[in-house]
Structure 1
Amino acid sequence: MIKNIDVFEKDPIPKAVFKLALPTVLSMIVAVFYNMVDTFFVGRTGDPNQVAAVSVATPVFLFFMAAGNIFGMGGSSFLSRALGEKQYDKAKKISSFCLYAGLLVGVIGAILMFVFMRQILNAVGTSENTFGFAKSYLSWIAYGGPAIVISTAFTNLIRGEGAAQSSMKGMMAGTVANIILDPIFILDSFLGIPCLGLGVAGAAIATVIGNLVSIAVYFFHVVKSSSVLTLSPRYFQIRDGILKGVLLIGLPASITNILMSLSNILMNKFLVTYGDVAVAGMGIAMKANMLVVFVQLGLGAGVQPLVGYNFGARNFRRMKDTMKFAVLCNTIAGVILAVLYWIFTRQIVSVFIGDGAVIDMGVKMLRALMYSSPLLGIMFVLNFSFQAMGKAKESLALAVSRQGFVFVPCTIILNSIFHLEGLILSQPIADIVSIIMAISMFMFMNRDFKNVLS
């Protein structure tokens, strides 16, 4: 018997959504600071080349998060449906598989990164000025690759059992550790206190330690509080549909991160032809935009366990009402954030760096990203709901549209016609097309649910 059954079955929709989604949104905001804090303190070095190095290296870092999402998003979706079907022993098998398979994938990824480091750095668009910094950053990220995979997986698995507050606590603990360690490792001095001055390498070390702290909190929750998750290897198995069930949703979910990495690499390859200022400007704009994206992403992720549980329990009316309420909340949040970002764009960008040319470039790029922000949350709610229902094809289609078959042609065509101005507009255009796709898919799927309800 799970501890949070009332929130899944009995609580009013607004109460249930906020109980699950609010900690998740806060977790995502924490994740934004987790990502922003490195750029902020690297920017305090006053060296645009180090900022650009982190920007071009970030897509490779996202590959580890993509691996974590295979087991986190796939496992969470499978877990919530298993709980809705009252299959509690199956839930333990899912969590054990995600832990040990994720650990193996993280180790393999780290080894491959060290073996092919030079080729990877050349592929992501490093310049002569940024190569050394990017190599230093990624070397430490590779050491912590397994930790990044496990941390990403378990924040989602714990959320999938309805323990959103425990998931939030783990992310917050890791972020606080990262924030404390960043100035110590990155800067030569901070508040008059001598520090290690490791630059971008220090940023990577702090990130890895932060993930280890998060893992400690997650494992403590599993051992002391969870009634359905386990760390025991005796539950590990790939039979009885465990492997297929996790990968069915996990792979499409991870493709989002992989395509995000590849699209960032493509973008950086084009941007580097316009100089390191353009690369740094886009890197800062994307970091700043993470708050807008992650708040809406958090609400979508927060309702995923509720949607998945009720889908597994065949309570389609409660599932649909949950989705509608989440879309409404996300749209309101998107509009408010987009307006605030448009008004205070320069102040936001200036937080990261004092270089005037980079600030001007970042302002232009960040404002362009606001064109699609008000409605971006609709796509996130629908995509997470597709994942929760086990709708792999719909989830995959949305994943490859936003960062794949829409974004890539937009980037290539707009760059060839409008050059830098076209590159800046490629992401919001891809977002708008993907939002239209998500709404169309749901309207088509909605007909099936109406037949069931009638």
Structure 2
Amino acid sequence: MSKTSAQDLGSQPIGALLIKQAVPASIGILVMSLNILVDTIFVGHWIGSTAIAAINVVLPVSFFIAALGMSIGIGGSSIISRALGASDAIKALKTFGNQITLTLLLTITLVILGLWYIDAIIPAFGGKGAIFEPAKIYYRIVLYGVPILALSMMGNTVIRAEGKPKFAMYAMMIPSVSNLILDYIFINLLDFGMEGAAWATTISYGLCFIFILWFFISKHSELKINFSHFGLNFPIVKEIASLGFVTLSRQAVVSITYLLMNNILYDLGGETSVTSYAIVGRMLMFAMFPVLGVTQGFLPIAGFNYGAQNYTRVRETINTAIKYASILATLVFIVLMVFPGAITKMFTTNLEVISQTPNAMRWVFAATPIIAVQLIGAAYFQAIGKAKPALLLTLSRQGFFFIPLIFILPIYYGEMGVWMSFPISDVLSTLLTAYFLNREIVKTLKQEPVIDSIS
């Protein structure tokens, strides 16, 4: 990270700085989400609605393994941001080297296990009946590229921690654009079906990795590591693990949620309900891109200024991020409440799915305007290195509230109870986060730091 970038994070006006960090992150997430969205549309129209359900079965498995890279990336990037804020370049370099080693060791091990137990994993995640075979085809091919995806996700967070959000945006755009082009070639022109969809995804991961590798060996990155940095350092690994475990736990709960939802909905409404959930899930990834962009932009600013003990700027960053994210979330809410039917028809021509999905979509996004508090609050604790509250708040929505609700409410309301669980868990987790965040601001951020004059 250049001195100019460090000074930017610690001195530029928060509003302008947050926009500068959040816009590239939002664009990157938008393009990545559009890729998932359009990919689903292509698969639905060129292969069939069952293929959408098949991909939805595979996603939680591949995403969980890839999320190891993101977890290690976010955990390590928190350390890197704070180390750069404290002018400790040696720790930043050692952390980055340890991130690479951990990502490779863990993801390759899990890919081997995932391929070995393929016939048990797919049915467990809802790949039953007509969904099983296309899911198995897609799963096997995509899993080959997951270690590369994990390295890319890890590297992307480090690029952002260096204060280079535009390069992080490019890294997210490359696989998204290439995947769509390859989808058209492999599925529509060459008629490779599910194999074509899978290879398009896997090859796009590789192109993303090539770009990120180029960034770190070029003059654009200040993190020039050598072989000595790859050796695992226990204190650093422990800190990466404690902070990264927050992200990994969130993704683990997401994967468990997919497993439960696919099975519960299959029992309640068959393949149609699983497909409806797949469409709503794609919209969850796509529609929230501006809010997630603000959250991503918030992380390095909060982490750097906390490391520099500039608590006034940290408080201002929290308030500004929540305000921006809330406005954007409300706009998303309005669009999805008004046009759920038109959105559903983009994905499929199946009349049953078209009839069922809009109502589900309205329920799922009913509490969207308030979720900014939950997202920014949980991200804050992770950015400043407080793993326990970050873990608690990250898991609160799905782990503590949503999963119990999807078992309880369907007893009384059937399939509608599943969809009702979304806004209820959003409200409860937001209230919990607001309590902890307010307590942190009062106890910590309103205190001026005691500066030790002895270096």
TM-score range, shorter chain: over 0.9
Inter-CA distance 231–348: structure 2 relative to 1 (3 Å threshold): farther
1:186 Cα offset (Å): 2.2
3-state DSSP of counterpart to 2:223: coil
Q: Hey, what's the Cα distance between the residues in 2 that align with 1:355 and 1:319?
A: 49
Aligned residue for 2:215? 221
1:240 Cα offset (Å): 5.9
Aligned residue for 1:22? 23
Check whether the contact 1:109–1:145 (CA below 8 A) recurs between aligned residues: no
Q: 1:329-355: per-residue Cα shift (whole Å, max 9, x none)? A: 000000011101111111111111111
1:451 Cα offset (Å): 4.9
Among candidates 235, 247, 255, match of residue 249 of structure 2: 255
Q: Hey, what's the Cα distance between the residues in 2 that align with 1:139 and 1:399?
A: 30
- Does 1:366 pair with 2:344? no
Inter-CA distance 453–227: structure 2 relative to 1 (3 Å threshold): same
1:428 Cα offset (Å): 2.0
Check whether the contact 1:292–1:373 (CA below 8 A) recurs between aligned residues: no
Check whether the contact 1:66–1:256 (CA below 8 A) recurs between aligned residues: no
3-state DSSP of counterpart to 2:347: coil
Q: 1:420-443: per-residue Cα shift (whole Å, max 9, x none)? A: 000111122212211111111101
Check whether the contact 1:92–1:228 (CA below 8 A) recurs between aligned residues: no
Inter-CA distance 162–121: structure 2 relative to 1 (3 Å threshold): same
Q: RMSD value over aligned CA atoms?
A: 1.5
Among candidates 389, 394, 398, match of residue 393 of structure 2: 398
Check whether the contact 1:293–1:373 (CA below 8 A) recurs between aligned residues: no
Amino acid of the residue matched to residue 2 of structure 2?
A: I
1:294 Cα offset (Å): 2.9
Check whether the contact 2:47–2:193 (CA below 8 A) recurs between aligned residues: no
- Does 1:126 pair with 2:120? no
Q: Hey, what's the Cα distance between the residues in 2 that align with 1:159 and 1:122?
A: 38
Amino acid of the residue matched to residue 21 of structure 2?
A: L
Alignment coverage as a number of residue pairs: 447
Amino acid of the residue matched to residue 44 of structure 1?
A: H
Q: Hey, what's the Cα distance between the residues in 2 that align with 1:210 and 1:434?
A: 35
Check whether the contact 1:42–1:51 (CA below 8 A) recurs between aligned residues: yes
- Does 1:326 pair with 2:327? no
Dislocated runs of 4+, deviation >6 Å: none
Aligned residue for 1:192? none
Inter-CA distance 385–272: structure 2 relative to 1 (3 Å threshold): same
- Does 1:2 pair with 2:6? no
Check whether the contact 1:253–1:395 (CA below 8 A) recurs between aligned residues: no
Aligned residue for 2:274? 279
- Does 1:335 pair with 2:330? yes
Check whether the contact 1:140–1:201 (CA below 8 A) recurs between aligned residues: yes
User: Identity of paired residues, percent?
Assistant: 30
3-state DSSP of counterpart to 1:129: helix
1:293-308 paired onto structure 2 within 5 Å: 293-308=288-303
Q: Hey, what's the Cα distance between the residues in 1 that align with 2:330 and 2:184?
A: 34
Which runs of 5 or more residues in structure 2 are unaligned? Answer: 450-455
Amino acid of the residue matched to residue 232 of structure 1?
A: N
Among candidates 277, 283, 289, match of residue 288 of structure 1: 283
- Does 1:78 pair with 2:73? no
Q: Hey, what's the Cα distance between the residues in 2 that align with 1:167 and 1:76?
A: 13
Among candidates 415, 421, 425, match of residue 426 of structure 1: 421
Which runs of 5 or more residues in structure 1 are unaligned? Answer: 188-194
1:200 Cα offset (Å): 2.4
Q: Hey, what's the Cα distance between the residues in 2 that align with 1:12 and 1:170?
A: 27
1:122 Cα offset (Å): 1.7
1:399 Cα offset (Å): 2.1
Check whether the contact 1:331–1:374 (CA below 8 A) recurs between aligned residues: yes
TM-score by length of 1: 0.95
Amino acid of the residue matched to residue 407 of structure 2?
A: I
Q: Hey, what's the Cα distance between the residues in 2 that align with 1:51 and 1:173?
A: 23
